[in-house]
Each structure stands twice: as C-alpha cells, then as structure tokens.
Structure 1
Amino acid sequence: MRNEEQRRLLGAFVRTRRESMTPEGHDRRRRTPGLRREELAARAAIGTTWVAWIEQGRDVRPSAETLARLASGLSLSAAERDYLFSLAGRHDPVDPFADAGQAAPPAIAALVGEIAWPCYALDPAWTLCAANPAARQLFVGLFEDDPAPNLLRYVFTHPAARALLPDWNARAGRLLAEFRRDYSHGLADPRVQGVVHWLQEQSPEFRESWNAQTVLAREGGTRSFRHPDRGLLHFTQHTLADVERGDFRVVFLQPAETRG
C-alpha cells in the first residue's frame, strides 16, 4: 500500500463495511456489530490475520487476488470496489482495462490532432490516450466499443490484428520487447502490472514472448498493414517521447510513397 494515510483510509473502510453487514442467522444477543473478522475471512476465503492487518492500517501488501476476494466477501458495489483497489494501490484483476487510463498531456493531444498521417499516443500501460481519424481508420477493430483501447491487448488477442499485420509473429514479438523497456519505468503503476498479468493469462504468445525477456528500443522503420478495404499499405514509423512526461509515447506512420 502506498502511504500511511491510504492504509488508514482503507482499514477504516473495510472495518466500517464489515460492521455494517448482517451475519447469517443473526443472534440479537451478540454484542459485536455486523460480521466478526473471522466471519468476513471465511466469506472471503482469506486469513483472519489479513483482515486484521488491513483494518489496522499496517504496512502490508495483499495481492490483487486477495483484495478481490475481500471485495466479494464484503459484497462491494462497483464504486466501492474501485475505491478499495485505489487505496490499496492495486489494479482490479477482474478487468485491468476497465480504467480509462491516463489522459494525454495537452501537448501530445494537440500534436496528434494536427498530424494528417496515422498518429496515436500511448500512456504508460500502452492504452491509446489519443488517436487521430487516420489511425482509427487504419487499426481495424481497435476502437470499436472500447473506451480505453490498449495496443498490447489488440495485437495479442484481437483477430483483426492478425489479419491486419501480415508479419504478425515478428511484429508482436518486437512490440512486446519495446513495451518491456517501458515496463521497467512503470513498475509502480498498478494498471501496468494488471495489463501484463491479464495478458499472461489470456495469451500463450504473450506469455512465451514475455518470458523470453527480450528488450528493444522503440525504433522507426517500415511497417506494413493489410487493410481489408485499402489493401497492402506501407509506412515508415516514427516515435516521439513527451519531454514533460517521458512515460508517454507519440507514434506516427508516414506513408512510404510520400518519401522523396
């Protein structure tokens, strides 16, 4: 957990929610309000000690899975569950992509909007926090019904990505090696951790590439796409880092035929 105040708030929240719950077979003679700690622990399938330490605001690091069981045991609403994970500094394993991600810094948003070629911006979890119309047209299926499209999830789990990238194996492997370089700077971000954990569970290719420990700088070069309406397209990729927020990336694709 991040700091003393967050631990205190988390402990008070869990204790208050526990004491507000009505135990099964309620006995009016009992003096303890709501559930006892051992009763909550049994409902959540976690140790009573964990419940006590969290409520006491101790400097402990319960896993996201432990917190998920605790949230279920407390019957938390979606908003309460989000509050719990936010205070604990963990990302909810139910859906690591549910968070809309970080907004693009103003300079990045302005740049993306002005470039005519396909252009997009990536936040530390590689969620697209900005994209221009040309990028939305190029990446088929990426932006459909998704308020927080993630480039890694798209490439490794979306069928449209495999059709769009004629050299999918090489591109996916390189993409992940480039992400691993950024990953070292985002270890404290629970969203980044959640994305990696989710993809390891959902994609054997991601898990295999991740375990290979390959690291590459994000470099330019030729990128090809087999678009369902426009056919085979070739671009030269360029990547810029924001000088104010080095964990954000701006990527734009220069059509190959425009080069002199």
Structure 2
Amino acid sequence: MKKSMDNSERPAIADLRSGFASLSSLLRAWRAEAGMKNGRRKPLPQKEVAARMGVSERWYRSLETGTPMSLSHETLTSLADALELGPHERAALFWNALSEIVDKGGQEHAEIKMDRLKEFVSAQSRFPAYLIDHSWNVIGYNDKMAEWFPWVRTKGANLMRWVLESPESREQIVDWPAHATLYLAQLRFALVGYPDDPILNDLLTSALRSPECRDLWDSGPRIIAFRQGGEFRLSLPAISASELMVTSQVLLPAYCSRVRFVTLLPS
C-alpha cells in the first residue's frame, strides 16, 4: 500500500507545478508511468523508448531535454505507442504539439463570437449545458444546468473549484475520489499550456490544502486534456429520486481554443 507523505516530506506547490510545465516534463512523467505499467520500479529507459520508436537514443534524449523539433503526426503516434499512452494521454500529447489557431478577426470579432456562443448554450433546453474557459470559469449555461446545479448562478462560478473544494460536490458526485483524480489530471494538463495563469495556480494552491486532494495529486502523474465521453453518476435528490447516470460531451468551438462547450447526456 502506498505510504502517505507527511507535510515535511511533501514537495513545495511550486515544484509540483514546475514538473508539468513542458513537453519534456510530460515525457519524463509518462516514461515513469510506462515503467510502472511494465512492472518495474524505475522509469522506462530512454534507450528502450527510442528503440520502440525506431529512432536513435540521441534523438529521443534531445526531444526529452527540450530541443525544438518538428513532430509529424506519424512521429507523435510512434511516441504515444512507445510510451504506452492511453487515449486521454494521447490527446494531451497531440494537444501540446499543436499550435493555437489565431483568429485574424481581432478582439471585436472575438467578443461577438463569444456572445453568439453564450446564446447557443442558453438556447439548449433538453439537457444541462454549459460553457467554460481554459480555467474552468463558467461563462455560460442554460436553464437546465442551473436547475441541476444552482451554484453556476453565483458570481465567479468555477467548475474545478466546485468539484475539488465544495462539500456539496462530494455528496452529488458518486465516487467523488475517482472523479476528483481525473479533474486534477486535467488541471495538470492545463498548467502545461498555461504555467503562469493566476487562476490555474490559485486553483492548484487552494485544492492542495485539502488532504484528500493532496493525496490524490500525489498518487501519480496522470495528465488528461479533457474528458470527452466521461461518465458520471450523480445524486441529485431535488431532480431525481434515484441516481442519474450521465455522459459528458465536450465540443471545442472553432477559433475559441480556450473555450469548451459541454453537455450532460443521460446514459
């Protein structure tokens, strides 16, 4: 059984963040996980990763130490296979390697498009739907979402903060620890792309004050881009006398790479 660290043994929060601030750090974390998957007590050697990819050890070492490289789809696929990445980790790898789409329409057009997105979300009437930014701030929602989760109406509502810090979430999300682990994995990935974002850093700092969240964070370097098709069992007595099983469907609007549209569909 994994031994919990006391406060004197725990690394500083800044160190935890810096461990996930680059592709190099992601690769080192995934190499460590690959070693664990293969029953080893140490990371998969760089030489073995290179052999699995069919590249030289020097090439892979350069990639992991941060040398800028052009990575094709085939190379990324080979890298994911060599590190035995699951679907979420593969998404994180490809997402990290892709350049952000730039909207040449300017800030004025961006605001208009965001308003239209909010109108689209609020117009949904059958299932709960919401719009969040890259820091999980709730920037739009429909009536059904507010009916299921009234907290979205509060000023500064943030999905990540609610999941990780609210006592209510522990009651409403069945098997909360498993889902909190996945949200922390998404927070790790967000910090890869936005290591200096003040909201993300505050979310991590605040969440890790909770012993439960700290233990989940320490349990392993899981990294997830987003939870497309994630299943949740919800206990919402005001909505249903029995537990609800829902699946999250995540859409990434064009030219709004920092925004996600999510709807909860009954499973």
> 1:182, CA displacement in angstroms?
2.5
Q: Report the count of equivalent residues.
A: 151
Confirm or deny: 8 A CA contact 1:182 1:247 kept in the other structure: no
**Partner of 2:254 in structure 1?**
243
Aligned partner of 1:109 among 115, 118, 129: 118
Closer/same/farther in 2, CA of residues 220 and 154 from structure 1, 3 Å limit: same
RMSD: 2.1
Closer/same/farther in 2, CA of residues 186 and 107 from structure 1, 3 Å limit: farther
Identity %: 25
> 1:147, CA displacement in angstroms?
0.1
SS in structure 2 at match of 1:154: helix
CA distance in structure 1 between the aligned counterparts of 2:138 and 2:234, rounded to whole angstroms: 19
Q: Equivalences for 1:42-57 in 2 at 5 Å?
A: none
> 1:167, CA displacement in angstroms?
1.5
- Corresponding position: 1:205 with 2:216: no
Instruction: Tell me: higher relative CO, structure 1 or 2? Use CA pairs within 8 A at least 6 residues apart.
Output: 2
Q: Equivalences for 1:98-247 in 2 at 5 Å?
A: 105-116=114-125, 117-139=127-149, 142-143=151-152, 146-201=154-209, 203-211=210-218, 212-218=220-226, 219-229=228-238, 230-231=240-241, 232-247=243-258
The alignment's TM-score, normalised by the length of structure 2, stands at 0.51
Closer/same/farther in 2, CA of residues 243 and 180 from structure 1, 3 Å limit: farther
User: Which residue identity lines up with residue 120 of structure 1 in the other structure?
Assistant: Y
SS in structure 1 at match of 2:200: helix
**Partner of 1:75 in structure 2?**
none
SS in structure 2 at match of 1:188: coil
Closer/same/farther in 2, CA of residues 188 and 108 from structure 1, 3 Å limit: farther
- Write out per-residue CA displacement over residues 210-229 of structure 1, whole angstroms, 9 at most, x where no aligned residue: 34321123221322211022
- Write out per-residue CA displacement over residues 165-196 of structure 1, whole angstroms, 9 at most, x where no aligned residue: 11211111112212322232222322222222
Structure 2, unaligned runs of 5 or more? 1-110
User: Which residue identity lines up with residue 163 of structure 1 in the other structure?
Assistant: E
SS in structure 2 at match of 1:239: strand
The alignment's TM-score, normalised by the length of structure 1, stands at 0.53
User: Which residue identity lines up with residue 256 of structure 2 in the other structure?
Assistant: R
Confirm or deny: 8 A CA contact 1:156 1:205 kept in the other structure: no
SS in structure 2 at match of 1:147: coil
Q: Which has the larger radius of gyration?
A: 1
* Structure 1 residue runs of 4 or more that deviate by more than 6 Å after TM superposition: none
